[in-house]
Amino acid sequence: MNKDKVRKTALHTIDVVGIKIDTRHYIGGQRVASAEAFTNTSPIDGSFLGDICRGTQKEADLAVAAAKAAFPAWAALGPKGRGELLLRLAELVEENIETLAQLETMDNGSLLRSHRRGVMPRVAMNIRFFAEWAINELQHPDFETRGHTNKISWDPSGVAVLITPWNAPLMLATWKIGPALAAGDTVILKPAEWTPLSASFFADLTKQAGIPDGVFNVVQGFGKEIGAALVAHADIARISFTGSVPTAKVIARSAADNLTPVSFELGGKSPCVVLEDADIDLAVELAVEQYDNAGQVCLSGTRILVHESIADAFALKFKEKALQIIQGDPRDEATQIGPQIHQVHFDRVKGFVDRAKESGANIIMGGEPNSDLGGLYFRPTLVMNPDPTSEIVTSEVFGPVLCLQTFKTDEEAIAMANSTEFGLAAILVTGNKERAERVAKQLVAGTIWVNCFFVRDLRAPFGGSKKSGIGREGGNWSFDFYADVKNTVVSPNGWKE
Ligand code: NAI
Ligand code: MG
């Protein structure tokens, strides 16, 4: 190990574009170091960002003990008491949008301008929305059963373990942290090992907001080490995970031993269905948007299904527009897509495209790295009419790789749309309302967007059908998971007063 790395680890803080980040875990309100560290790099240029403490069973046990100890007092605060602190936390996020945006862009390579204007404001909103929802909306009217009153409540359930991915680190984490804390659970967050920085900074904000020690904890490290130790722990009440299907299966097996409830959001291979009566320009715009975040979006509509009568015109316009996408440094205002997150992931994406090429697929755009920009940039790629059974059509690539397939009838389009093991989202582009309703009804997915994409409301249910997930989050659905839903039945009899 070089001296520089030793020094940085020993100091326990690193400087990333002028922002001080503690590289230790945050457990019970204290910074806790580990003997081992892992290296964190920036996908922008591969530069070294710092050595981050690498947790094991020991830190998992510490974090669960701290979260368990903090639970009774946090639960007792009630929605209003917790809400005050959470609203302060949301304000602190807002005050630190620029810092968080800079940090996240360095760590995961997503666009700085979208972190500034979209993602980080959304992080604050995730916290505020669920805090306010718990105070104002989370209620069910009482009802009578033969004179007995049913009173429904959402009670805190215990320690929630949150395991999150790298494609939108703090955004996806707070989508879970918001409702878990608002519900009265205490939280252990394990961010992805490729993007640990924003979670560490966020931990500092929770301290500043006055969230009591142990209510929110962050542990860092590899999924197979501290991640596995956390989800196998007998003292946790909930596991919420966003990531890949294979990892979800491992977590589910582990959760089964303790019958710990799980909520899974597992990505997809969503269709973007373009009927022949569609507004072509709108359809092209929506389809090209699927390259956003360099394709590292769970919701991405990567299978573009176009009616055969308009397929040639569509492909022409699509290519014209997609070739204008500006790929580059995510810190530049003009850049539209940046790099892949990590060499391992880049190789995975490239592997899919290389194998498609070897099997004779017709790649009409991209198909190779954009090496002039650096090591991890892959060009927006379009595979024309691939074999419907090939892996490029059935597997989640999670890169800037789209497939274009054609169909003859609505029925065929629906069958193709529903043909993968996934069901996270579907986009439908059509000019006819009655047709939209009929087709949308037959699409199997947690979210259907008709003539639009990525319109998200925190009041709406969000989650995946089939292998895209277990459960729904958003509004009451989040609380149905994080809380213990209780019915108290009160008899009209037996009262002495
Ligand atoms: P992954 O599912 O392995 O990792 C996601 C998180 O799970 C990370 O925090 C990781 O440390 C943790 N983890 C891994 N193994 C674990 C275990 N045994 N116990 C507990 N936690 C564990 O995803 P990965 O390897 O980063 O990406 C692979 C593929 O997964 C991508 O190419 C993409 O297809 C898909 N993916 C989907 C995402 C989505 O938004 N649904 C996000 C990230 C990846
Ligand atoms: Mg990183």
What's the confidence (pLDDT) of residue 497?
86
Backbone angles phi, psi at 422, to 5 degrees: -95, 170
Residues 215, 285, single domain; the answer is no
Q: Which atom of ligand 1 is nearest to the CA of 298?
A: 40
Q: Beta 238-242 vs 216-218: how paired, if at all?
A: unpaired
In a domain, 235, yes or no: yes
Residues 252, 328, single domain; the answer is no
Task: Show the CA angle centred on residue 465, arms to residues 461 and 471, nearest 5°.
Answer: 50
* Tens of pLDDT, residues 221-249: 999 999 999 999 999 999 999 999 999 99
The alpha carbon of 42 and the centre of ligand 2 are apart by a number of angstroms equal to 5
Residues 360, 279, single domain; the answer is yes
> Which of these, 394, 379, 368, lies nearest to 324 by C-alpha position?
379
Residues 303, 226, single domain; the answer is no
In a domain, 494, yes or no: no
Q: Which atom of ligand 1 is nearest to the CA of 396?
A: 34
CATH, residue 148: 3.40.605.10
Adjacent-strand bridge partners of 14: 21
The pTM for the full model equals 0.97
Residues 312, 205, single domain; the answer is no
Ligand 1 pocket (Cβ < 6 Å) reads 163-167, 190, 192-193, 222-224, 227-228, 231, 242-244, 247, 250-251, 265-267, 298, 345, 348, 396, 398
In a domain, 176, yes or no: yes
Residues 250, 290, single domain; the answer is no
In whole angstroms, what is the distance from residue 72 CA to residue 289 CA? 46
The alpha carbon of 163 and the centre of ligand 1 are apart by a number of angstroms equal to 9
Q: List the residue whose alpha carbon is closest to atom 12 of ligand 1.
A: 223
In a domain, 43, yes or no: yes
In whole angstroms, what is the distance from residue 382 CA to residue 363 CA? 6
The alpha carbon of 49 and the centre of ligand 2 are apart by a number of angstroms equal to 7
Residues 281, 137, single domain; the answer is no
CATH, residue 418: 3.40.309.10
Decide if 139 contacts 168 (C-beta within 8 A): no
Residues 191, 240, single domain; the answer is yes
pLDDT less than 70: residues of the chain: 1-10
Residues 362, 241, single domain; the answer is no
Residues 261, 308, single domain; the answer is no
In a domain, 166, yes or no: yes
Residues 193, 319, single domain; the answer is no
C-alpha separations of 128 from 174, 238, 378 in Å: 10, 22, 37
Backbone angles phi, psi at 453, to 5 degrees: -155, 145
Task: Sheet containing 148-156: give its strands across.
Answer: 143-145, 148-156, 483-490
> Which of these, 38, 329, 11, 28, lies nearest to 191 by C-alpha position?
38
In a domain, 461, yes or no: no
Task: Show the CA angle centred on residue 393, arms to residues 391 and 394, nearest 5°.
Answer: 65
What's the confidence (pLDDT) of residue 10?
54
Classify residue 61 by burial, with Cβ atoms within 10 Å: 0-12, 13-18, 19+: middle
* Catalytically annotated residue among 59, 298, 403, 473: 298
Find all residues with CB under 8 Å of 248, minimum gap 6, and list them: 241, 264, 266
> Which of these, 478, 318, 467, lies nearest to 395 by C-alpha position?
467
In a domain, 458, yes or no: no
Find all residues with CB under 8 Å of 180, minimum gap 6, and list them: 160, 162, 187, 238, 240, 482
In a domain, 341, yes or no: yes
> Which of these, 42, 96, 50, 17, lies nearest to 338 by C-alpha position?
42
> Which of these, 71, 298, 291, lies nearest to 171 by C-alpha position?
298
Q: Beta 25-27 vs 19-22: how paired, if at all?
A: unpaired
> Which of these, 71, 61, 46, 83, lies nearest to 374 by C-alpha position?
46
Single-letter residue type at 453: F
Name the residue range of residue 43's domain. 6-266+468-486
Decide if 167 contacts 266 (C-beta within 8 A): no
Decide if 213 contacts 69 (C-beta within 8 A): no
Decide if 168 contacts 119 (C-beta within 8 A): yes
Adjacent-strand bridge partners of 51: 39
In whole angstroms, what is the distance from residue 376 CA to residue 251 CA? 29
The alpha carbon of 242 and the centre of ligand 2 are apart by a number of angstroms equal to 18
* Tens of pLDDT, residues 212-221: 999 999 999 9
What's the confidence (pLDDT) of residue 5?
47
Output the six-digit token pair for 220: 């860092």
Adjacent-strand bridge partners of 30: 27
What's the confidence (pLDDT) of residue 4?
43
Task: Give catalytic status of residue 265 as yes or no.
Answer: yes
Residues 75, 193, single domain; the answer is yes
Percentages helix, strand, coil for the chain (3-state, rounded to 5) are: 45, 20, 35
Return the HEC string of 275-296: CCCCCHHHHHHHHHHHHHHHHC
Output the six-digit token pair for 410: 């609505």
What's the confidence (pLDDT) of residue 79?
98
In whole angstroms, what is the distance from residue 28 CA to residue 216 CA? 8
Output the six-digit token pair for 230: 């956390």
Q: Which atom of ligand 1 is nearest to the CA of 193?
A: 11
Number of domains in the chain: 2
